[in-house]
Structure 1
Amino acid sequence: MRSLRLILSNPRYFAPAWVFTSLNIWFGTWAIYIPSVKDKLDINKADLGIALFCLSLGVFTIFPIASKIINKLGVGKATWTGVCCNSVAALLPLMAPNYYTLMASLFLMGACNGLTDIAMNTLVTEIEKEDKQNFMSAAHGFFSLGGILVGFSSFLIPIIGNPPLHMAIVVVLVLIINLMLRKHYYHIVAAPVEKEPFSFKLFKPLLLLGIIGFVSMGSEGAIIDWSGLYLKEVALAPEVLIGSGFLAFSTTMTLGRFLGDGISAKIGSIKIVALGALIAILGYAMVLSQHTVLAIAGFALCGLGFSVMVPELFRIGGNVKGVDSSQGVSFIAGTGYSGFLLGPVILGFLAERASLVYSFVLLMSCAILVFVITFFLGRRGK
């Protein structure tokens, strides 16, 4: 909790943490309206999966050039640029009049999300280096906090009754807060490093962790995109509870990330990842019960289980010797977000051909895979 107190007591740390919150508010507000967009445009789950792939494509298009943009602008300016771009892009998918416009809008949203994500993680890495303070996990906790805020706002869906208006209100409020805070990070640039020729050999120790990142972020993306539809169509939840799975997941994700640094210091990285995998497996078992209350509780356990995995990966990626922090973060982002964004697409096709139940069986199998990987890492003493 020390890192949380650090963020809340100093605007130098709170400003970048709020960018994390903002990114999930934009993305989460879109996500809770996915069932509405599906019905409005009269598309099936496979079509929705293709549209979500356009979101993934936008992210992957920006990844190869993100580090160049960040280094050219400076990490602080690049972060603010991402904030401004997202404020526009977040509005477009919910305003799309047809399926093809939706795909184009999601591509643009994905590109803006990708740039902002790499920039803000690089920004935190640079501040950690300058100040010798660790707050990456807590910053990711603020990302999850954005999901909590979105989850609570989902209760306003029947009241507002207008997805574009809901998003517009969110965008204006979030942008105003970012505008007031940007002075605390706008000037920051990445510290120069003694570069070595770029080679994947530099990242060899991270490959198994990259698989863990793929699975954990794939699960996060799947729950964000499909939990509402699962509760609606499989668990038969009432409309007022459709966003509750996302809310429960985000709440425990936030709690786990605020506590993660201290727990990791006591039991070690491998053990905390293994423990998280076991908790997630139990969570998926509860989700697969198809009972509304148990499913919501299961989403909560999944959030707790996956909460501590990703922040440590980003910190490692931003501190690889001989590599710009932005390049290291881009590498971790590429492996992790391929899961975050491609996972829901794969699940969409599986849900269309079989059912959402089989999709969550696959996610549970992936959590088991993470546990197996940590078992082998532990035996090798890594």
Structure 2
Amino acid sequence: MSEQVVSLSYPKQYLRLAVGAIFFLPGLIFASWASRIATIQQTLHLSDAGLGAILFSIPVGLMLSLPFAGWFISHIGSRKLAIIGLLVYAIALVGLGAAPTVPLLITCMVLYGFASNTVNIAVNTQAVATEKIYGKPIMASFHGLWSLAGFGGAAIGTLMIGKSIIPLHHFVLIFTAIMIGLAICQRYLLDDSTPAEVGPAFVLPDRPLIKLGIIAFCSLICEGAMFDWSVIYFKKVLNAEGAWMGAGYTCFMCTMAMGRFVADWFAARFGLKQILQLSGLLTASGLMVAVIFPHLYTAMLGFLLVGFGVSSVVPMVYSVAGRSKTMSPGMALAAVSTIGFVGFLIGPPVIGFVAQAFSLRMSFILIAVMGLCVTGISSKVKL
């Protein structure tokens, strides 16, 4: 993003609201899809193994987007990329609801994954620029809006299921809401499409960016584990029944959202390094509480701590990466996001392998080590 593009013809609060909206909207898309996976599985008569294999199409699409994201940012700017990406993301959501066959579903999933990461990098680039204008940490609050949209999208999905509304009609409704929101907020986003000396489409990240990527990698392993294994942990290790199986996941999601709304204040008061160090310790401590004391309420407490621990790591890392002196904000974010997302991808299957070889509790100890790595590496990074 060009450093010259800092003057606004409207109050900066409008910019913050607009950027907050383009964080909320993709969160709504993500949660809407997640809430209807089981319905689509039933409609297409997919087995659990078949669904698992098909779901891998989304990270495939995401990985395919990584080589292009930096190029898109540098040539058309994050504002246009966010608008186009959100449009494609919403269209892909409708496609997921309309797909009558597995091959078409896979195609839409690849497009969905491609668009989701493109939007992720574009909106975070806008957030970095907004944070520069405000001159104080505000990145985590934007990510908090994404989490808040997750709750809203899940609630809408539950309502749609209760009313027996098919996914296609549900997703068309969400598409309409996305288009209305985008039409309102797009005019207030920072226009960074002015041609500049954009340089090559891809540059190897320097050592500080690699370290930031590794911090994101370790934290996203923990975050991915909570998404994919928290319910299983409560079911198999704690022998939780009924709604209690989801208690750990709910605790984690609540504190992750809450943590993102307060992380900026703490970062401004105590510094990014201290927040990252504390985040790693909270993550490790929460997981160890759940492992050492495998009982319902102690595990819930542990998962509450894990939610607070992972909440601010990725937003803070993105904030620092966006201020890179060696790469443009968009390309720096693409580089860090590439390294970090590998952790999100490999974490859940590695946990499965460790659980199969030893136990699920042992695999959670491995995740706790990743939390300690966040603390250790953050201590050595200049922030």
Give me the TM-score of the superposition, normalised by structure 2: 0.80
Q: Structure 1 residue 334: deviation in Å?
A: 0.9
Quick check: 1:118–1:330 contact (8 Å CA) kept in 2?
Answer: yes
Q: In structure 2, what is the equivalent of residue 323 of structure 1?
A: 327
1:73 matched to 2:91? The reply is no
CA distance in 1, matches of 2:373, 2:87: 38
Q: 1:173 to 1:22 in 2, by over 3 A?
A: same
SS at match of 1:279: helix
Q: In structure 2, what is the equivalent of residue 332 of structure 1?
A: 336
Listed one character per residue, the Cα deviations across residues 287-337 of structure 1 (whole Å, up to 9, x for unaligned) are 556655554443332121011211221122222124222111111111122
Aligned match of 2:59 in 56, 61, 80? 56
Quick check: 1:150–1:247 contact (8 Å CA) kept in 2?
Answer: no
Quick check: 1:232–1:239 contact (8 Å CA) kept in 2?
Answer: no
SS at match of 2:56: helix
CA distance in 2, matches of 1:155, 1:36: 11
SS at match of 1:61: helix
Q: Structure 1 residue 129: deviation in Å?
A: 3.8
Quick check: 2:31–2:151 contact (8 Å CA) kept in 1?
Answer: no
Structure 1 residues 154-303: aligned runs within 5 Å: 156=159, 159-162=162-165, 164=167, 165-185=169-189, 187-189=191-193, 192=196, 199-200=203-204, 203-228=206-231, 230-231=233-234, 240=243, 245-288=248-291, 291-303=295-307
Aligned match of 2:370 in 353, 366, 374? 366
SS at match of 1:90: helix
Q: In structure 1, what is the equivalent of residue 6 of structure 2?
A: none
Question: Greater shift after overlay, 112-121 or 36-45?
Answer: 36-45
Letter in 2 for 1:262: W
Aligned match of 1:126 in 129, 135, 138? 129
Give me the TM-score of the superposition, normalised by structure 1: 0.80
Task: Extract unaligned runs of 5+ from structure 1.
Answer: 1-7
CA distance in 2, matches of 1:129, 1:372: 27
Listed one character per residue, the Cα deviations across residues 132-173 of structure 1 (whole Å, up to 9, x for unaligned) are 454222212212222232454465476244561544444433
Letter in 1 for 2:141: A
SS at match of 1:74: helix
Q: 1:113 to 1:272 in 2, by over 3 A?
A: same
CA distance in 2, matches of 1:245, 1:66: 35
Q: In structure 1, what is the equivalent of residue 5 of structure 2?
A: none
Q: In structure 1, what is the equivalent of residue 19 of structure 2?
A: 16
Letter in 1 for 2:304: A
CA distance in 2, matches of 1:272, 1:111: 31
Listed one character per residue, the Cα deviations across residues 2-54 of structure 1 (whole Å, up to 9, x for unaligned) are xxxxxx99221111112112222222333344555566644345x55543432
CA distance in 2, matches of 1:55, 1:243: 24
Q: Structure 1 residue 124: deviation in Å?
A: 1.7
Q: Structure 1 residue 348: deviation in Å?
A: 5.6
Q: 1:270 to 1:70 in 2, by over 3 A?
A: closer
CA distance in 2, matches of 1:299, 1:121: 27
CA distance in 1, matches of 2:63, 2:25: 21
CA distance in 2, matches of 1:297, 1:225: 19
RMSD, aligned α-carbons: 3.6
Aligned identity (percent) is 27
CA distance in 2, matches of 1:313, 1:284: 22
CA distance in 2, matches of 1:321, 1:334: 19
Letter in 2 for 1:218: I
Quick check: 1:145–1:250 contact (8 Å CA) kept in 2?
Answer: no
CA distance in 2, matches of 1:273, 1:267: 11
CA distance in 2, matches of 1:198, 1:369: 28
CA distance in 1, matches of 2:287, 2:188: 41
Q: In structure 1, what is the equivalent of residue 29 of structure 2?
A: 26
Task: Extract unaligned runs of 5+ from structure 2.
Answer: 1-10
Quick check: 2:212–2:336 contact (8 Å CA) kept in 1?
Answer: no
SS at match of 1:320: coil
SS at match of 2:373: helix
CA distance in 1, matches of 2:240, 2:159: 17
Q: Structure 1 residue 114: deviation in Å?
A: 0.9
